[in-house]
Structure formats: C-alpha cells, structure tokens
Structure 1
C-alpha cells in the first residue's frame, strides 16, 4: 500500500542541506515529490549533482543574505516556500567550559545556530503573507534540535543553549504566531542524539566515547541521517501530521540523560 504524504509539488526549503542530515532530508523530500530548495553555506557538495534541486548559497547570520535566499527560492522554484526545515548549525569541536569560553566563540555559535533560524523564520513568515491559500495549507516550520537542548552538554554550552532556544523558545512561540498568517500552519522540532554523519565521523571513532554517549540509551545505537530525515517528512506532512503542532520529537533511541564522568569515576 502506498502512502500519500500530501507533499507532491510542495515547495520545501532545507538549510544546511549539503551535510549528512540535510542531504538525506533533501533526498527524502525529493522522493515524496516535493519541489526542493537546498541551502548551503560554503561547499555545495553533492547538491551540485541533483538537477531537480535548486541549490542556493547564503550566510544565514546576515539578514540581507537570508532575505535574498528566500526571494531567490521563490523566484527559481515556482513560488513561496511552504515548508521550512531549519537544519543548519555548527558544533565547535573544542571542549570548552562556559568559564573558559571566549566571547567570540559564544557569539559566533549563537549567530549561526539561533540568530540564523530567527532570520529565516522572519523572512519565511513575511513571504508567507503573500502566498496563495493552497501554499498556506501546507505551511510548516521544522527545526532540527538536539539532545543537547534537552539535557545540556558540558563543554558545549553555546551549542546547547542555541538548540534549547529553538526547541523550547521558538517552537512554542511560533506555533501560536504562524496561524495568524496561515490558519493551518504548524511548527515542530525534531531532536536527534548522536547521528553518524561525516561531521561526527571522527568523534564516533572513539569507542569509549560512544559507549559513554549511549550509556542511557535503551536502543544502544547511534542514529542514521535517514532516521531524522524521515521524521522531518512525517511532521511536514499535512496528511500524517496535520494536527501535530508545537511538538518536540526526540529521535534519540530513548536517551534519558548524560553521564558526567566515565563509569570508572562514578
């Protein structure tokens, strides 16, 4: 039995689309018949080979660049964006406590991971005001959060704070605001734990780290990009999730928390 997601010919914009989760999300929406616009920051990567995808570059920290991204997406891909997937983000690899973190690191992480989503949502909602009734029917914002936003993450407080703000600040706020523009519009967040992406490849080679990271996870496995992408598609679907709004969906194998110290020190 085939399942209609109701996303055929729906315009979907995915940020950070050249990376692991973003690229898999692009592929998932393509298979569902959506018109996909894929944002990237510097490197276009495998997006260059996807002829049916509109790939656009933008620095999401800059308001003019984000406004131009939204304008070009509408111009080059058949009209205003209906579904916005805010997937981009940076996770500084250096382990730095709040006490030792530089203001420049803090500011850059929040500019990318929090101000960027704010600018994207602002530009998206502004454009949505002039969209057709049909385009508004499928209106949806989906944030990619993180277990760091739920449990915190020692030595990565900048990242944890930005994700928590998306999950528990913007998601419940915007789900109440979007309906003044699109009465059936919805806002949700998909929040993965560790996912086997090229960016995480080096970290996940450390067996001791992985064991510690999965210590409170019943499924005892690292997620895959498709685990996240499929849940994004389900939440974007007006058929499957038309009455799902303001939800934080944990895609983390049942994770219940973090170990502060290696088991041998507890």
Structure 2
C-alpha cells in the first residue's frame, strides 16, 4: 500500500509555498519523496523556506507572465523534469458585495487567482507530458460553490479555477496529465487567525460545519499528495471539497 503514495524521483512546483496551505503541501510532497521548487512573491521568504526545507527556491510574482516562465525554466534547469504542478498562490481581495466592488481590486484578484493559473498550466503541462505524465493541482475554494454577500471577485475567480481544471483534464488527459482542483473550506492558518479569534463568527461557522471544527493545512496537503500520487492515478477533472461538511449541511 505504501507505494500508492510514493513520489520518489518526482519533481514539483508549488506556488505560494512559504506559508499556510502551500507550505503544508510542499512539506507533504517532500515527505512522499518528491523534490519541490519553493516559490512565493517575496524573495526573502522564498529563500528562507527553501533553506528550511532543503529544497531549491525561485521567487515568482504570479501576475507577471515573464516571472512564471522563469519559474518553469528554473525548475527544468534544477530538476531536469517537471512531474507535478500545484497552483496555490492567491489573494482574497477586498470584501463586500459586487455592487460595492473596486474594479481595480477585481482585476488584481482575477489576475493572480485565475489568469496566472491559465498561464502557468500552459507553460508547465507540456513538460509534465514530456516527462511521461503527472498531475496538476489547482487551488479553488468552497466560496466558489456557495453564494455569499462578502466574497466577490475571489469566489468568482475560484469558480473559474474549478472549471479550468475540468477543461484542462479533457485537453491533457490523452497525454497522461491529470488536472484536479481542491476547494478548501475554513482552514486554520495565519491568514484566518482574525476569524479564529472572532467568537461570534466561529460559533456561526462551526454550527454550519458537521465536524464542528476548522480544518488544518495538513488535511489539505494530504489530499494533494493523494491527487499527485499513484493512489489518485484514475482521478482527473475533479474538484475535491475539503470543508468538514460545510457544503452539504443545512446548519442543523
């Protein structure tokens, strides 16, 4: 059974991998035997985390097409191949209704959360195919599957990410490349700490979650390993929701 989750000899790129869910995914892939290119928009953070994990690092502003091309080229230079891609980098943008939306913020959210994944997949997937096939994982969100009053461009972009995974799965499946999305629910991270500290929010949100607790980055990372590894070899075009049951409950 252990071979089902063995990524020995594989090479991966993980964007936004210096903290939170991205770092947990990078650590889990490394633990499974993969070599991972650590990346974030901050050069100092990228260098620090790469050193901590004993892996190479390449800073990358994912809104910059040239930087994305450099990330792929650097990964090929270091590893000689690319087997897996995790498009995790993203921003939330300003909260509020669409009636109140700042269109400059909208453009930035869409560029970082959706357009960057299109560009990076177009750059990396041909190399994954050339390495004999592998998997790409696109980070979507539970917010893309539920209506709300405060999460606007972010939710819209993440819905696009899930559709991108389906389209790319059809496009690249014949070349042996699998593409899936993950939609995390409420996960306890540094970025979610203000919400974790908000007792009223937590009481309301946990009442909507059958498991009655937030998720952890490691629980998302475990799913990422499954989707990358031989255990997930017949899974493609799927959007895996990791939310403790929030999506399916009526709040009872």
Q: Provide the TM-score with structure 2 as the length reference.
A: 0.92
Q: How many residues align?
A: 249
* Structure 2 SS opposite 1:54: coil
Deviation at 1:4, TM superposition (A): 4.3
Select 1:179's aligned residue among 163, 173, 182. Answer: 173
* Structure 1 SS opposite 2:99: coil
Matched, 1:141 2:133: no
In 1, Cα distance between equivalents of 2:204 and 2:169:
35
Which structure shows the bigger proportion of residues in helix conformation? 2
Deviations 1:42-74 (A, max 9, x none): 151651433531111111111111111100011
Matched, 1:155 2:150: yes
Structure 1 segments of 4+ aligned residues over 3 angstroms from their partners: 1-4, 126-129
Select 2:54's aligned residue among 36, 49, 52. Answer: 52
Unpaired segments ≥5 residues, structure 2: none
Any residues of structure 2 matched to 1:23-102 within 5 Å, and which? 23-42=23-42, 43-44=44-45, 46-50=48-52, 52-76=54-78, 78-92=79-93, 94-102=94-102
Contact 2:210–2:249 under 8 Å retained in 1: no
Deviation at 1:125, TM superposition (A): 2.1
Matched, 1:221 2:213: yes
* Structure 1 SS opposite 2:240: strand
**Does the C-alpha gap of structure 1 residues 68 and 240 become closer, same or farther in structure 2, counting only changes over 3 Å?**
same
Deviation at 1:172, TM superposition (A): 1.0
* Corresponding residue number in structure 2 for 1:263: none
In 2, Cα distance between equivalents of 1:141 and 1:2:
22
In 1, Cα distance between equivalents of 2:223 and 2:247:
20
**Does the C-alpha gap of structure 1 residues 66 and 203 become closer, same or farther in structure 2, counting only changes over 3 Å?**
same
In 1, Cα distance between equivalents of 2:102 and 2:20:
28
Deviation at 1:102, TM superposition (A): 1.1
In 2, Cα distance between equivalents of 1:149 and 1:210:
20
Contact 1:25–1:230 under 8 Å retained in 2: yes
Matched, 1:105 2:105: yes
Deviations 1:150-175 (A, max 9, x none): 113322210000111111x2011000
Matched, 1:254 2:245: yes
What is the root-mean-square deviation in Å for CA atoms of aligned residues?
2.0
Contact 2:128–2:135 under 8 Å retained in 1: no
Q: Provide the TM-score with structure 1 as the length reference.
A: 0.88
In 2, Cα distance between equivalents of 1:256 and 1:194:
11
* Structure 1 SS opposite 2:57: strand
Contact 2:128–2:177 under 8 Å retained in 1: no
Contact 1:190–1:249 under 8 Å retained in 2: yes
* Corresponding residue number in structure 1 for 2:223: 231
Contact 2:15–2:87 under 8 Å retained in 1: yes
Contact 1:81–1:124 under 8 Å retained in 2: yes
* Structure 1 SS opposite 2:231: coil
